[in-house]
Structure 1
């Protein structure tokens, strides 16, 4: 008689307890259904502390429990991604190039020439950047703002954002669906990837600041040494 009880307890022994943000996410999805997953992903774009690496596997996990279908999970999370990205696009458009240049002009270590080069680069590679950026932690949300500032054609922006988000969302939703109670494994590996990206960004920023300070130091020492 005790054997069925032991077998039934086995999955939960290896599963993460649904507490904190994970429990809240599942509650929202089970209460609202697949549109709830889309709403959470849209909010994740606007408020990065809500990580997609948690929401998407949980959407797959919730689908595996029968709350909604796998197709619904992918559709609504991708729609939520596009809605969130679109909101950030229009925020960037509202800021505009003129305001951005005024801000950059007052920033230390940054010249308007740097902004000009960035705009030229974005004009050449903006489409690929938006598409690939939707699959990179940290940049997933941020990439929409320069796209809005540069007024990338809105239809192209939506299509590229939807395509990139569809790939990213499908992968994590499927992983969560297959792993079921062990959905947290996907979160762990995604967290490692996110930290690697963050470290790379920090290293690039440190290198850029050091290079800029060294260049300015040489510029200020030049006239003195010549005299």
Structure 2
């Protein structure tokens, strides 16, 4: 898997990083914890520069987050919950989970947006209450950019620093990356099988 990702990054460059990170935020096929370190490795190997790697990853993250912000604002809380209960099996998102992330957003306010970008599972969901409860787009973009830039910098920086030992690290990262992907896939299948619509919105 590491060869596949690095091959795409080497062939398409910064566009590949941005696209993979956008997809990671819309529907996570490959977690950022795999994408950005590998992009950092590629930069250390001389194929790319570290600063544009971080910028590309952050732009992809922000674009994916903006999609959810727009969708939540367009549908509103009631219609979005109905949509989640109707099609949530495949999104693995129910109205009850929207309520829980709403509560978390209420407790922490807009500053929950950058904080969520360092918490797996929250970095996508946090855009939903931000869109539903009218966080201004400019403020949302600034907060999302700040949180994702820090996270992407840490991941890409770690990959860059380890880049000179790429072959040694890849021996461990390859199986680890496959393990992460397998865990994500199994968790998704589990969520699809055990999904239950919210009874209070039925």
Q: Structure 1-normalised TM-score?
A: 0.63
Name 1:146's counterpart in structure 2.
129
Q: Which has the higher contact order (CA 8 A, sep 6+)?
A: 2
Cα distance in structure 2, aligned partners of 1:105 and 1:36: 33
Cα distance in structure 2, aligned partners of 1:85 and 1:166: 13
3-state secondary structure, aligned to 1:76:
helix
Please give the per-residue CA displacement for 1:56-105, whole angstroms capped at 9, x wherever unaligned.
Answer: 10010111111110111111111111111111111211221232466799
Assess if the C-alpha contact under 8 Å between 2:18 and 2:61 holds in 1: yes
The reply on whether 1:55 has 2:35 as its aligned counterpart is yes
Change (3 A) 1:98 1:55: same
Q: Which of 118, 142, 145 is matched with 1:162 structurally?
A: 145
The reply on whether 1:67 has 2:50 as its aligned counterpart is no
Cα distance in structure 2, aligned partners of 1:111 and 1:32: 38
The reply on whether 1:38 has 2:18 as its aligned counterpart is yes
Q: Which of 110, 113, 129 is matched with 2:112 structurally?
A: 129
3-state secondary structure, aligned to 2:47:
coil
Q: Report deviation, 1:32.
A: 1.3
Cα distance in structure 2, aligned partners of 1:105 and 1:61: 41
Aligned pairs (5 A) from 1:209-220: none
The reply on whether 1:177 has 2:177 as its aligned counterpart is no
Q: Structure 2-normalised TM-score?
A: 0.70
- Greater shift after overlay, 118-127 or 59-68? 118-127
Name 2:66's counterpart in structure 1.
86
Assess if the C-alpha contact under 8 Å between 1:42 and 1:83 holds in 2: yes
Cα distance in structure 2, aligned partners of 1:149 and 1:72: 32
State the superposition RMSD in angstroms.
3.3
Runs (5+) with no aligned partner, structure 1: 1-19, 196-227
Structure 1 segments of 4 or more deviating over 4 A? 100-106, 117-121, 183-189
Cα distance in structure 1, aligned partners of 2:62 and 2:19: 11
Cα distance in structure 2, aligned partners of 1:177 and 1:37: 15
Runs (5+) with no aligned partner, structure 2: 87-93, 184-202
Aligned pairs (5 A) from 1:187-206: none
3-state secondary structure, aligned to 1:141:
coil
